[in-house]
Amino acid sequence: MTKTGKKINGKQKLTPSDIVVHIILVILSVIWVIPILWIVLISFRGEKGQYVSTLLPKAYTLGNYTKLFTDTGILNFPKMFMNTLIIAIFSCIISTVFVLAMSYCMSRMRFRLRRPFMNVALILGMFPGFMAMIAVYYILKAIGLSEGSLIRVALILVYSGGAGLQFYIAKGFFDTIPKSIEEAAYLDGATRWQSFTKIIIPLSRPIIVYTVLNSFLAPWIDFVFAKVICRANKDYYTVSIGLWNMLEKEYVYPWFNSFAAGAVLISVPIIILFMFMQKCYRESFSGGVKG
């Protein structure tokens, strides 16, 4: 006997409530997939413009994808893509290091004002980041990071600067790792750094994967901070700003289908990163601590 029903001939028999739940989940899945499928179909649509007589395309073409990489006179999508990729990679690396280091310190070390600091970090995390964007912009302008190629540096600093305050989830994971493992390493002569890099990090692959994905997604999809800092410097636009410009009144008719193609393309690095990090998920669940 199980909570969801009885076993008959070794097979699970679904109860009426199970069937209803499955139907609801299928409906929700279809609703969730339809917009994604539609934007993919639009990216191959042959008819121009955002308004057409039919929901599905009548003709299909690869020209919308070609246009993104060849028609770079007004909206230089390849450059926007590379700008975003560079910013996202560096921000991801720095943010991941900050979050893991901060989380380990809060989990393992004991020092004065530790509890008040954690409370302050929790309170600050309740406020949305865009509340400070004007102040952040003027600070960057004052130190000369708001013009030219330094805009990329400014965006990296903005995205990774406050990453350490997002330590609560990783700290909770580190708290589940027994301290006795590290104590045994200290008895064998290991330093705290060696304990962190050789013991804690290999045991923390799930939270590392989570941190890496979040640290990469934040700059990859952000629009508000990027728009404020980049302003009218088109050479340093990110993909979010570029896709937004494709929907402006003067560009929406010729660029709408290419907008859909761009929306599909920006998901490719995220998919690749997630597939690459899946290996860490599998290894973390199949591995274990041997005593």
Please indicate, yes or no, whether residues 130 and 271 belong to a single structural domain of this protein.
yes
25-71 residue pLDDT tens? 999 999 999 988 988 988 898 888 777 777 778 888 888 899 888 88
Structure tokens at 258: 């290419």
| pLDDT (average), residues 182-189 | 86
Please indicate, yes or no, whether residues 30 and 113 belong to a single structural domain of this protein.
no
93-116 residue pLDDT tens? 999 999 998 898 888 888 888 888
Structure tokens at 283: 């290894």
Please indicate, yes or no, whether residues 113 and 90 belong to a single structural domain of this protein.
yes
CA distances from 33 to 37, 38, 40, 226, 241 (A): 6, 9, 11, 29, 25
Q: Which CATH number do you get for residue 176?
A: 1.10.3720.10
Position 11 scores a pLDDT of 62
**Residues whose CB falls within 8 Å of the CB of residue 229, separated by 6 or more in sequence, listed in order:** 137, 140, 146, 151, 154, 155, 158
291 occurs within a structural domain = no
Please indicate, yes or no, whether residues 138 and 268 belong to a single structural domain of this protein.
yes
DSSP-assigned letter for residue 179: H
Half-sphere exposure of 249 (CA within 13 A, CB side): 0
Domain closes at, from 63, 81, 98 = 63
Tell me how far apart the alpha carbons of residues 83 and 81 are, in angstroms, rounded to a whole number: 5
Please indicate, yes or no, whether residues 50 and 110 belong to a single structural domain of this protein.
no
Specify whether the CB–CB gap between 200 and 135 falls below 8 A.
no
What average pLDDT does the chain have?
84
| Domain limits for position 198 | 69-286
When divided into structural domains, the chain yields a total of: 2
Tell me how far apart the alpha carbons of residues 247 and 237 are, in angstroms, rounded to a whole number: 15
1 occurs within a structural domain = no
Tell me how far apart the alpha carbons of residues 91 and 37 are, in angstroms, rounded to a whole number: 30
Q: What is the 3-state secondary structure (H, E, C) of 82-109?
A: HHHHHHHHHHHHHHHHHHHHHHHHHHHC
219-263 residue pLDDT tens? 898 888 888 888 878 888 999 998 998 888 888 888 888 999 999
79-96 residue pLDDT tens? 999 999 999 999 999 999
pLDDT over 90 percentage in the chain: 16
